[in-house]
A = this chain, B = another copy of it.
Amino acid sequence: MADKRTEISELGEFGLIRRIKSNFSIKNASTVLGIDDDAAVIEAGDKYLLVSTDMLLEGVHFDLAFTPLKHLGYKAVAVNVSDIAAMNGYPKQLTVSIGVSNRFSVEAVDALYDGIKMACEAYEVDLVGGDTTASVSGLVISVTILGEVDKDKLVKRNSAKKKEIICVTGDLGAAYMGLQVLEREKQVFLENPDMQPQLENYSIIVGRQLKPEARMDIIHELKDKGIVPTSMIDISDGLASDLFHICNQSGVGATLYEDKLPIDEQTYQTAGSFKIDPVTCVMNGGEDYELLFTIKQEDFEKLKNHPDIHFIGYIQVQDKGINLVTKAENVVPLQAQGWDHFHKS
């Protein structure tokens, strides 16, 4: 046994998480929900406390060749706020730990924290702690966020039911196409340093990649309309992967309609010029940080005229599987090929 070596890529990220989770059990009465959702849920008086964490590593999650540090700081906070939004909660506090090598100056650290501060103000979150350390390799950022939610307003992934309507906010696939553009311009620059990056026609999708927003606006609006989604997740790994999480944890299937998928015109055009199917960007691109949620049919009336909420399908019984009805009316089973950093390429 001591000699056995299993590659992490054989398990993938989700397999590794399942393996870790299976060895741990919950013992404290105050722990309501552990590793199963966008955030953990903890008893805190008359509310629930929400906790989520994300780690961003240089060379894996971001490339400083085209990522301004201020944007990176903003994004590191926004993606954590998005996890709190996905529980129908409100972000309150966060901790930020950074590892920086001596190639970073104090001014570079200032730029990173300028972005963190801007996001803290936008999302009304307090920076309450963290750790700063030297790094012998790249930049490391680890953020943990705390939020709160009324106990009767908590929304989990595992509670979608048959006939409910599947909703998604904003548009999808843009952040992925933004990344393709940035990586192409980086290659052009590396081959010919006199070339200036051509980004003016890609401002929307590049912005979605570099400075995503958490959809707290939607959480506030749902509250104002008296709607509690029946299940919710934020789209970080791609629509397919994140819909699979809802369906698998809820024990249901789903049917999506290609012609209902919200794709921005710039995403669509750019995908075409890269010869990438825009539906692939939507399904497997990731980093959208839009909200995917289900509502009861009776709540449809209250949301049907919302300009930024799209009704892309409905929940089925599990036996029906998870399918996409294409524009040509073919029924195609979805694959959950979300982004996996451990995947062998």
Contact = CB atoms under 8 A, between A and B. Distances in A.
Interface of A: 4-11, 13, 16-17, 19-20, 23-24, 26-28, 30-31, 33-35, 39-40, 42, 44-47, 49, 51-55, 57-61, 92-93, 95, 97-100, 102, 104-107, 109-110, 113, 117, 120, 124-138, 140, 142, 144, 146, 148, 341-342
Given A55-B142, A142-B53, A126 B26 contact: yes
Contact of A136 (B20, B46, B59, B120): B59
Contacts of A35: 127-130
Contacts of A100: 8
Contact of A129 (B10, B13, B27, B39): B39
Contacts of A129: 34-35, 39-40, 51-53
A35 to B, nearest CB: 6
Contacts of A102: 7-9
Contacts of A125: 28
Contact of A24 (B28, B52, B92, B117): B117
Given A23-B117, A28-B124, A133-B60, A105 B53 contact: no
A107 B17 contact: no
Given A17-B132, A31-B126, 4 more contacts: A27-B126, A34-B126, A60-B135, A134-B342
A77 B106 CA distance: 30
Interface centre among A52, A98, A131 (most CB of B within 10 A): A131
Nearest to A135: B57
10 contacts: A8-B109, A28-B124, A31-B92, A40-B93, A44-B45, A51-B144, A54-B131, A57-B134, A57-B140, A136-B138
A55 B97 CA distance: 7
A181 to B, nearest CB: 22
A8 B105 contact: yes
A93 B127 contact: no
Contacts of A124: 27-28
Nearest to A41: B128
A340 to B, nearest CB: 9
A140 B92 contact: no
A95 to B, nearest CB: 4
Contacts of A54: 97, 131
Contacts of A140: 55, 57, 99, 140, 142
A111 to B, nearest CB: 10
A132 B93 contact: no
Nearest to A8: B106
Contacts of A28: 92-93, 124-126
